[in-house]
Amino acid sequence: MSTWTELVSAALVGTERRAFVADPAVGVDTGVDPAQALLQQAALAAIPALTGSQPAPYEGPLPEPAPADDRPLLPAASRLRLRAVVDVCPKYLGEWLAAVRAAGYRVPSDAMPSLLNSGRSDVSVRGDLAEVLGARGHWLARQNPDWRYLLREPFGPLRPEDWDASEPDARIAYATGLYATDPDAARTLIQAAWPTLTAAVKVSLLAVVARHATDADLPFLTGLAQDPSKQVREEAGRIATRLAHSGEDVAELLPEEFAAEIARLGAAEGFGADLTRLVTRRRLGTWPLDAARTLLALFVEFSRGKAAGQTSDRAIQYERSRNVWTVQQLVGVLADRAPLDLRPDVERVVQAQACDIAAGVTHDLDFTDLHSLLGFRADMHAELTASADAATGQE
């Protein structure tokens, strides 16, 4: 009988150009047209290829299994939240991961790929991500070059032996961990080892320094002007320049001064550039409640402003609409960074606004989004602590 290859070649050429003789052994009726005979014979010859992919023998080792994680699994409500945070509100991923880390849960392992993908683009979440994913996440990150960044993040207690490891990633993870807890010791350690390091490791370590850089790092950084590697010289120069200019920035105010400064700037010039800068530069976690309240009060006052100053002047109207846009951005900042205790205040504002609108008073800003975003964040924390209470209650 003709082989499959012979049949394919006969079909490519065509039975008109090259005679095809049906194989009588196959049981195809020899009386039929040669093209039809070829098709019938091909149907039989194709069967081995159509019975699926033949299994191939495997002699390699089994994959290294993931280490066990004995932390309790994230409760059901928070597993749902995980999807919402990763897919819909990635801006709250950092805050959520920090809360999960503090609560001491492990995440379901099938969620790890999407979390590791989030950490690729969002450097700020990596520290908490490494702790939340734990040993199992590090095992998974080793399998995919795209997730290698996680291996440079410390997790669990610091292991000094990592600094002597042959793997540069482990050394960088240790340096990162030490920098967070004891920057002086980290600096001494890096400086001592510097002459023995490769340029690639040096650049990675400089990235660690850059994350925590203070003026104390300046002598070390300026000393690197003589480094044999061009990349190291440039990177060190960049960090040093940034440090030198950081003094010109608005220094972060003490918590008690922050609210007063908001009130002062708000009274003096409304929502001008200074107030905008003050608010947008303020980091999460350092927002005192009274500052958030002061800002909220300014927003409410601004929102009603239109009713007070009705005007037909186009220039003023234009100015006003541009301001509304700016203030809307600031409301967004407040939603993301305000302490959650602000929520009852916002609820009162939303209710008062509804009464105003019913009474015919117009408003430029809508605070329901602020309310629901604060609610999202509040629920996100509440379900982590609530289920912890329930779990301890059951035991």
Partner 1 sequence: MAPETSSGSPQRWSVAQIHALAPDPASQKAGTKLAAPGPWSDTGASPSASLLWGDCKGSGSKPYQVTVELSAPAFACSCPSRKFPCKHALGLLLLWSAGTVAEADALPQRVEEWLSGRRERAQKSEARKAAQAEKAAEAADDPAAARRAAAAAEKRGAQRAGRIDAGFDELELWLADQVRGGLTGLRGAGYRPLDGLARRLVDAQAPGVAGRVKELAPALSAEDWPDHTLRGFAQLNLLAQGWRNRAQLPGPLAATVARRVGLAPSTEEIAAAGEQVADRWLVLGQRDDVPDKLVERRVWLRGEATGRTALLLAFAPRGQSPGLALPVGSSLEARLAFVPDAVPLRAIVLEQGELQQGSASPSGALPTGGSLEEAANAFACAVAADPWTAAVPVLLEAAVPVRQQFGERQEWRVLDAKGSLTVPLIRPGAGETAMALGGARKDPDIPRSAYALLAAAGGQPAPVFGICSVSGFAPVTVWTVDGPVSLA
The interface with partner 1 within residues 23-82 (CB under 8 A) comprises 33-36, 38-40, 42-43, 45-47, 49-60, 62-66, 73, 76-77, 79-80
Find the binding residues for partner 1 in span 177-216 (CB under 8 A): none
- One DSSP character per residue, 299-328 reads HHHHHHHHHHT----HHHHHHHHHHHHHHH
Among 23, 26, 84, 210, binds partner 1 (CB under 8 A): 84
Stretch in the footprint of partner 1 (CB under 8 A) among 84-92, 210-218, 236-244, 318-326: 84-92
User: With respect to partner 1, which residue has the nearer C-beta, 59 or 248?
Assistant: 59
Separation of alpha carbons 185 and 387, rounded Å: 39
Distance of CA 168 to the CA centre of its chain: 24
Nearest approach, Cβ of residue 118 and partner 1 (Å) = 14
Radius of gyration of the chain measured on its C-alpha atoms: 33
- One DSSP character per residue, 96-112 reads HHHHHHHHTPBPPGGGH
Contacts of 7 (CB under 8 A, 6+ apart): 38, 41, 42, 45
Which string of x and - marks every residue 355-384 that binds partner 1 (by CB under 8 A)? --x----------x--xxxxxx-xxx--x-
User: With respect to partner 1, which residue has the nearer C-beta, 65 or 160?
Assistant: 65
Among 71, 83, 159, 348, binds partner 1 (CB under 8 A): 83
* Cβ atoms within 10 Å, residue 267: 9
User: With respect to partner 1, which residue has the nearer C-beta, 114 or 246?
Assistant: 114
Contacts of 316 (CB under 8 A, 6+ apart): 309
User: With respect to partner 1, which residue has the nearer C-beta, 109 or 276?
Assistant: 109
Among 87, 182, 257, 269, binds partner 1 (CB under 8 A): 87
* Structural tokens at position 347: 């609820």
Among 129, 140, 298, 335, binds partner 1 (CB under 8 A): 140
Number of residues that bind partner 1 (CB under 8 A): 71
Nearest approach, Cβ of residue 395 and partner 1 (Å) = 16
Among 101, 122, 136, 237, binds partner 1 (CB under 8 A): 136
| Burial state string for 147-184 with b = 16 or more CB within 10 A and e = fewer than 16 | bebbbbbbbeebeeebbeeeebbbbbbbbbbbbeeebe
User: With respect to partner 1, which residue has the nearer C-beta, 83 or 281?
Assistant: 83
User: With respect to partner 1, which residue has the nearer C-beta, 135 or 307?
Assistant: 135
Find the binding residues for partner 1 in span 99-128 (CB under 8 A): 108-110, 112-113
Among 12, 19, 308, 315, binds partner 1 (CB under 8 A): 12
Amino acid at 216: A
User: With respect to partner 1, which residue has the nearer C-beta, 72 or 272?
Assistant: 72
Nearest approach, Cβ of residue 353 and partner 1 (Å) = 11
- Measuring CA to CA, how many Å separate 338 from each of 196, 262, 373? 47, 14, 11
Question: Among positive and negative, which fits the CA dihedral 186, 191, 192, 196?
Answer: positive
Nearest approach, Cβ of residue 61 and partner 1 (Å) = 9
Contact 130, 142 (CB under 8 A): no
Residue with tokens 């996100």: 380
339 contributes a contact to partner 1 by CB under 8 A: no
Contacts of 24 (CB under 8 A, 6+ apart): 30
